[in-house]
Amino acid sequence: MPAILTDPFLILAAGILVVVGGIIGLKLHPFLAMLLAAFAVAWLTPASALEQFALSKGASAAAALQQAKKSLGERIATEFGNTAAKIGILIAMAAIIGKCMLESGAAERIIRSILRAIGIDRAPAAFLVSSFFIGIPVFFDTVIFLMMPLAKAISMRIGRNYLLFVLSIIAGAMMANSLVPPAPGPLFLVTAMQIPIGLMIVAGSMLGLITATSGYLFARWLNRRMTVPVRDSLDAKVEDIRMIAEKDDAQLPSLALSLLPVVFPVFFICADTFLNLSKDAAAGNIVMQAVAAVIHFFGDKNTALITAGILALLVVLQQKRGSSFDMSAFIQNALMSGGAIILITCAGGAFGGVIQQTGISARITDMTSHYQMALIPLSFLIAAVVRTAQGSATVALITASGILSGMASQAGLTFHPLYLGLAIGCGAKLVPWMNDPGFWIICKMSNLTEKEALKTYAPMGVVMGVTGLVVIMLAAAWLPFPV
């Protein structure tokens, strides 16, 4: 194969062409389009690039050579399986939880309580703030799974603003995921760049709320120009949601029961995260050790979601007692919806995985190693290029912080390296599209079409990221805090 055809950027371009052309041009199902793109990228990637990628990940020379000899199908299946291991159970259980919350009326009860407490006009802002703070310790996709049923229920309740509710949830969760430890990407970043974690939490929260607000304002602008209805899906028929919205309060579960499937996983995942940050907190205290053991058990994200799914099913059974409720058929309908999301998301993960194997991150590193731009916009740009190229915001954070960690500690830096870390976090928001598994989770959980997501979710990420860059540069000029 000619050398020019093995260039990582040309391989990436070929993958993009297959995905976009397949979905938009040939009307292929996203699962097939993503798999075909993964095969195209894997076929074009030379064995030398595969070997070098494995070595960069710490593999031995023998293991790297073995990796390079794997067949196309095996490499794609491995990346597909790696993604399934991360999100398979989460999506399946989230589908059950969402279906249960709608069927039992739990989502409707929560929505009515929110509307009574804050009013309809403030509901989108409440979703924005809630998703931001939940998204700090909880994975981005888990926030989407837990909150999207609420967006559907409240939109059906008031008859409008579905796009605004969806984008408000996404905006808050997106920024928390890239700016505030202990989210995985920022946690790696503060370690690599030697930024005090407490400082990053405070500054990341402040910047995250500012950027999420810019996304919220953009979402309100979009909402006035686009109408996106709540659509039928396997787990939530529009007519079923409408019927639940018309029920009397007495026919709905209590607020405590309604919140339980959401609060339980959020509480234990958060508690486990913070317990891991202070590992010696329970030392020498038998009671605290027992409490810590319980928190660690239920704090595993898979265990937390499985338990929450069981709790959600119990709420449904409590509401359906005395009726001929078919639990088996109910769960099957939920899993049919979840299964489709799992397949598409894993295909997206396989595509992103084989793109990384081309060595594109190393290529970006080489191109920017002697680039004489200002460090803050350079940090932003590197993270944005890596995110757009391979899809994962976390990978973009890790790659960019690895590239810039040496610059962060260099002598003569006129501002605190915190600003570099924040710039990387904001750059990792550009540009979310079809090679990002989160893109497909959002599409399938919200029932946005791919075209609608590209016109709303993707540009909102750009707006929030660029807003963050402007704020960071102003702050670095006015409050440099040099080390």
Q: What is the pLDDT along the chain (483 residues), one digit of tens a residue?
A: 555 567 888 887 888 788 778 877 787 877 888 889 889 988 998 888 888 888 877 888 888 888 888 888 899 999 899 888 877 887 788 778 878 877 888 877 877 787 788 887 888 988 898 888 877 756 687 778 778 888 888 888 788 889 999 999 999 989 988 898 767 678 778 877 788 877 888 889 999 999 999 999 999 999 999 988 887 665 556 666 666 666 677 778 888 888 888 788 878 877 887 777 666 655 667 888 888 888 889 888 788 889 988 998 999 888 888 777 788 888 888 888 778 778 877 887 788 788 878 887 677 666 655 654 467 888 898 889 878 877 778 777 876 776 676 566 554 567 888 898 999 999 999 888 887 878 888 888 888 888 999 999 999 999 999 999 999 999 988 887 765
Q: Is residue 347 part of a domain?
A: no
Q: Is residue 5 part of a domain?
A: no
According to the model, what pLDDT value does residue 372 have?
41
Q: Is residue 176 part of a domain?
A: yes
- Counted domains in the chain: 1
Q: Is residue 307 part of a domain?
A: yes
Q: Is residue 160 part of a domain?
A: yes
Tokens of 161: 């603003």
**What rounded mean pLDDT belongs to the chain?**
81
- With the CA atoms of 20, 22, 25 and 28 taken in that order, what torsion angle do they form, in degrees rounded to the nearest 10? -130
Letter for the amino acid at 234?
Answer: L
Decide if 62 contacts 366 (C-beta within 8 A). no
Domain ranges, residue 278: 84-181+221-342
Tell me the pLDDT tens digit for each residue of 346-394. Answer: 887 788 788 878 887 677 666 655 654 467 888 898 889 878 877 778 7
Place of tokens 């798999």: 35
Q: Is residue 12 part of a domain?
A: no
According to the model, what pLDDT value does residue 354 have?
86
Q: Positive or negative, the Cα torsion across 60, 61, 64, 66?
A: negative
Chain mean position to CA 61 = 34
Q: Is residue 412 part of a domain?
A: no
Tokens of 107: 């989502």
Q: Is residue 89 part of a domain?
A: yes
Q: How many CB atoms lie within 10 A of CB 176?
A: 26
In 3D, which of 390, 411, 383, 394 has the Cα closest to residue 472? 383
According to the model, what pLDDT value does residue 408 have?
61
According to the model, what pLDDT value does residue 82 have?
86
